[in-house]
Structure 1
């Protein structure tokens, strides 16, 4: 399991502001955020709008995480999150809108 060097308060704020999503896992039910959602200085900037589209479409946080990591060879990098990390947010958001609505 990877940990971010970000202060706990910053991570809590990112979760509250919906810049990140996570799911509760493990024996202590800690909120875990996929490492691919983070850069060295904070959340992946292209992620926030995609989270909003999927949330507004009725996806739960667990469903959002699953969709972003679902293999899709038609996207750059092979998944939505990999494509976002390469800067292809327009195509990912277009597909998110199709799935969510």
Structure 2
């Protein structure tokens, strides 16, 4: 999985770094620490910004008690019924199905 440090995310989104920090605080993006550096999966970004449907999916999973690590694992785990991974489905404009599955995890 390709990851980007926060300055790279800011550059790709055309935003100041403090706005990227705000996206993380608001749950619009997720980051994990690797070798002491916060990184964001590159697949979370699209040409127009954050992948459509990702912030809502993150919110649903967080509200269900999932940790950042668990959300990242779920988003990048192959699901033959989608097919592919949930993040690939979000990128392929199948966000409604991904969100439905995320909501079902909470019950």
Gap regions ≥5 residues in structure 2: none
TM-score (norm 1): 0.87
Q: How does 1:1-101 map to 2 (within 5 A)?
A: 1-2=3-4, 3-4=8-9, 5=11, 6=13, 7-26=16-35, 29-76=36-83, 78-101=84-107
Deviation at 1:10, TM superposition (A): 2.1
TM-score (norm 2): 0.82
CA RMSD across the alignment = 1.5
Deviation at 1:53, TM superposition (A): 0.5
In 2, Cα distance between the equivalents of 1:58 and 1:31? 22
State the number of aligned residues. Answer: 98
User: Which is richer in strand?
Assistant: 2
Deviation at 1:79, TM superposition (A): 0.6
Gap regions ≥5 residues in structure 1: none
